[in-house]
Each structure stands twice: as C-alpha cells, then as structure tokens.
Amino acid sequence: MEQRHLGRTGLRVSRIGLGTLTWGRDTEEHDAADMLKAFWEAGGTLVDTADVYGGGEAEYLLGRLMERLVPRRDLVVSTKAGSVPYPGRRFDGSRGHLLAALDASLDRLGTDHVDLWHIHAWDAETPLEETLQALDIAVASGRARYAGVSNFCGWQLAKAATWQLAAPGTRTRLASTQMEYSLLQRGVEREVLPAALDLGVGLLPSSPLGRGVLTGKYRHGTPADSRGASEHLAPFVEPYLDDTATRIVDAVTTAADGLAVTPLQVALAWVRDRPGVTAPIVGARTAQQLTAALSVEALSLPDEICRALDDVSAPLHRYPDHDWSTL
C-alpha cells in the first residue's frame, strides 16, 4: 500500500487507516485479529483508536493483538483522549486529565509510546494553551511521537496550529486533524481543509463511507446485520438516509457500474485522493468488509467521474467563502 507523509512532518502512514471504533463491543477478538492481520499483510500501517472506544476495550484488544499477532514496530498507532462520560460534560481538555488518560492508554495498549496522539475534541472550559501543553509534554517525554487534534472546526484548528508554530523548537507542530469527511459530509471543505492545507496539517477523514451508507447497503432497506439496525448505532446512521443522500448514493452506484467496481471503492477512492487528505480511516466490522475496502488501492477515479460526483454532492458554500464580491 502506498505510504504518505502526515501533513508537514516526516511521519509516513499508509494511505488507508484501520479504525477500531467497534472493537471490544460489536467486533469480537477473532474478527479484530483477522482484520489487523489482513490490514498488515496489505501494507497497512495506520491503526486508529481512542480511550473511549468500547470503554477502553478497543485499546486493550489492540494491545493484545500487537503482542502476539502483528509486530508493534510495523504499525503507526494513533489514539485519542479528551472525551469523558461525566454527566453534563462531554469533553475534558485539561492537562491533568489528558496526561492521565494517555498513561492509561499506554497501559492498555501495552506499549511505552503511541506514534500519534489526538485531542479528541475542543473543550471550551479549558484554556487552549493548557490543552496544547499536554501535547508538548507528551511528545517531550517520549510518550507520543506526533500529536494532532480531532473534531476542531476551522478557527479552532487554525488557532491551535498557529499557537504551536509561534515558538518553534519548544512546541509540538500539529501533524494531523481527524474529521468526518465523505461524499455525504463535505463540511470540512468550508474552513477546516483550507486551514489544514495552509498550515501543513494532514487530514485523516473518519467515516469516509458516509457511516456505511455510501456502500449502497441501505438503498432497499436496513440490513439486519448493519449498523443501522444496531440499537446504539442506528442514530449515527439515520441522518444519512434522507433524500439528498439517496441522490448521492445513486450517483456513486452509477459510477461504480460504469467502472465495473463497487460503490464502496468509488466512495473511498474519491475521499482518499482529495487535496489535503492523508489517509481515510475505515471502520470495518469484519475482515471481509475490510478486504473490500483495501481493494481500492488499485483504483484511481477518472477526472470526469470525480467532477460528476463533486457536482452531485456539492455543499452550499456562499458568503463569505466564495464569490463574495458578486453577492
């Protein structure tokens, strides 16, 4: 699998990442083992997790599999901290919480460092400079090799990245930002992606298959074994089952038929090759699903297909983003 530099850093990662959101909850250990082995054998390196995935079980599971199945040195392990289950508070970006969470992640993963550590989300109750100090300390102590953020909007990303660049040599450059991005969710193109491109921050798209909808599996109903049929994941899928999504999925399916490939391959190739994207994170539930996603490696979409998909999925971006002088 092709390797790409993560943002403006020397870190190289596979251009498809493996997500572990369902590990330890919907994905059992034997299925996770099959996925990790298939991913590794295909040349995949970037494995993404978080301290809250499965209540910590995803990290435990990944740690066990690295110990006995895939060499730790062959993987770029990424995890996140900052999401919390406290009543009335979803995020905690305080230095104390973040560093304690990192130590707990390292313990569950069975490693002395992660290759990439993300702040899971913006915390409006904590000064940004305190949150970013946690990144600096993590990297300076060797517990994290590189650092990034997740779910920061455009001005938040720009503020954080600029702060980190203000004192080079003493602060850690942001390597990446992880955001949802697909043909069904192109909101990052408004401000996040331009900021990331300008600041040299690599984009790691989550849900690149539109929460599974872009595979076409929901065109004629909700399969019983799908996330849409899962009690705790159905609300995650439901927003992408509207008429707008249907038109986009139909266009993806038409393109796939014309290219003799699958809708999954078309949707994944589209986001993988967007400017500024380093590696989409694929959250498969089974090895079969992952193998189907990894088959996209040989596919590059023709320009006319890309333009057609761009048109059918184009978000409404007007003032002040485009053509402000004519409004």
User: Residue 135 CA to chain centroid, in angstroms?
Assistant: 19
Q: How far apart are the C-alpha atoms of 165 and 307, rounded to whole Å? A: 36
Q: How far apart are the C-alpha atoms of 193 and 187, rounded to whole Å? A: 9
Question: Residue 184 has which token pair?
Answer: 């069904």
Which DSSP helix (H) or strand (E) runs through 150? strand 144-150
DSSP per-residue codes, 202-238: EEEEESTTTTTGGGTTTTTS--TTSGGGSTTTHHHHG
Please, are residues 268 and 279 in contact by the beta-carbon 8 Å criterion? Answer: no
User: Residue 82 CA to chain centroid, in angstroms?
Assistant: 16
Q: Helix, strand, or coil here: 13?
A: strand
Please, are residues 124 and 155 in contact by the beta-carbon 8 Å criterion? Answer: no
- CA neighbours closer than 13 Å in the CB half-sphere of residue 16: 28
- CA neighbours closer than 13 Å in the CB half-sphere of residue 225: 5
Look up residue 70 and give its DSSP letter.
Answer: S
Q: How far apart are the C-alpha atoms of 296 and 150, rounded to whole Å? A: 25
List 53, 60, 181, 240, catalytic entry: 53
Whether 53 is a known active-site residue: answer yes
Query: What are the distances in angstroms from CA 189 to CA 186, 196, 233, 249, 315?
Result: 6, 10, 26, 20, 9
The 10 Å Cβ neighbour count of residue 223 is 12
Question: Residue 38 has which token pair?
Answer: 């298939």
Residues carrying an active site annotation: 53
